[in-house]
Structure formats: structure tokens, C-alpha cells
């Protein structure tokens, strides 16, 4: 058993007595209540548990909680700007890209990370970057259009 200290969305969290093999996903959801971090595949294949770990996109199911000790984690709850939705969240709503919503937190994390690194990506890059996020409802088109909207581009302007 170990003690864990992680800054999540700017606030320090502690977990006393966490088991050595617990994933960051488990600690975020079960110990600290960040239910936007989805537990789906537990194999790093679906992107539902995506977070920023020290500003790097990571599937939290593949990270041992002990590896995150002393780190900074951002979940979808930490992306808002003074209470306003993140531009990716707003665009997803505006484009009608949210259906069941299960994949959306991971999609938002991946898309916001992409736009931070590449503010005006073409559609092909968006599709490539979101390929690690599985959605069973939307068929991805509206999600891609929402990311283009958040980037301030359109399909035509992105050259696709």
C-alpha cells in the first residue's frame, strides 16, 4: 500500500493506502469521483479514459496510479474557462455530435489536445488524431465537423 498525491484540475488529491496495482483510471473514478473518465476497455484501445497527464494525452487505464504520484492530471472537468464550455465541448453541442455521450469526454480530451498542438488541423489530421477514440453511436462525421468548428475552419477550408 502506498500514499498517492496528484493534482487534478488544479486541486491536490491524496489517496492513502492505494494498492500498488491500481490504475490511474480506478483512482480518478472510484476514489476521487471523476466519473467523466470512463472505464470501458481497460486495454488502452477505446480512449474513453483519456486525460492529460503532465500535459500529455494518456489513457489512464494504462497508467499505474503510482506512476502519477506528484503529477498533474487534467480531466474534461478541468478544461472549462471560467465556467464556460471549452470550444470543443461547445462545438460538439452545436454540431449535434453528442448521442449517448459515453465517448465524449475522451473525444474532448483528444480534440482539445490536438487543437492545443495544432490550432487549425485539416480534416485528415483530425481523423488520424481521433482514431484512438471509439464511438458506437455517431459514425464520427459530426464529431470531426465539431472539431473543425472548434478550430475555426470548415471542411472546405481544411482542403478535404
Walk me through the domains of the chain, giving residue ranges and CATH numbers.
2-77 (3.10.20.30), 87-150 (1.10.150.120)
Answer for the pair 74, 37: CB distance below 8 angstroms, yes or no. no
Helix ranges (H only) for 51-158 are: 87-94, 104-117, 123-129, 141-150
CB burial readout 139-159, b (16+ within 10 A) else e: ebebbbbbbbbbbebeeeebe
Sorted by sequence, the CB contacts under 8 Å of residue 124 that are 6+ apart come out as 160
What proportion of the chain, given as a percentage, has pLDDT over 70?
A: 93
45-90 pLDDT tens trace = 999 999 999 999 999 999 999 999 999 999 999 998 777 899 999 9
Exposure of 21 by Cβ count < 10 A (0-12 exposed, 13-18 middle, 19+ buried)?
exposed
pLDDT for residue 81: 72
Q: Compute the mean pLDDT over every residue in the chain, rounded to the nearest whole number.
A: 91
pLDDT for residue 136: 87
Please name which of 77, 84, 68, 70 lies closest in space to residue 9, comparing C-alpha atoms: 77
Q: Is 19 helix (H, G, I), strand (E, B) or coil?
A: coil
Is the per-residue pLDDT at 18 higher than 90? no
Report the predicted TM-score, pTM, of the whole model to 2 decimal places: 0.91
- 3-12, 55-64, 130-139: which range is least confident on average? 130-139
pLDDT for residue 101: 87
Amino acid at each position: 500500500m502506498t500514499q498517492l498525491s496528484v493534482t487534478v484540475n488544479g486541486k491536490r488529491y491524496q489517496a492513502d493506502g492505494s494498492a500498488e496495482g491500481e490504475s490511474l483510471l480506478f483512482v480518478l473514478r472510484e476514489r476521487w469521483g471523476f466519473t467523466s473518465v470512463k472505464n470501458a476497455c481497460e486495454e488502452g484501445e477505446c480512449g474513453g479514459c483519456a486525460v492529460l497527464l503532465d500535459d500529455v494525452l494518456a489513457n489512464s487505464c494504462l497508467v499505474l496510479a503510482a506512476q502519477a504520484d506528484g503529477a498533474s492530471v487534467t480531466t474534461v472537468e478541468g478544461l472549462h474557462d471560467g465556467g464556460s464550455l471549452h470550444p470543443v465541448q461547445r462545438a460538439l453541442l452545436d454540431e449535434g455530435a453528442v448521442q449517448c455521450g459515453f465517448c465524449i469526454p475522451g473525444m474532448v480530451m483528444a480534440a482539445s489536445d490536438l487543437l492545443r498542438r495544432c490550432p487549425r488541423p485539416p480534416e485528415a489530421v483530425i481523423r488520424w488524431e481521433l482514431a484512438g477514440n471509439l464511438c458506437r453511436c455517431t459514425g464520427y462525421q459530426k464529431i470531426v465537423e465539431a472539431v473543425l468548428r472548434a478550430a475555426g475552419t470548415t471542411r472546405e477550408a481544411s482542403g478535404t
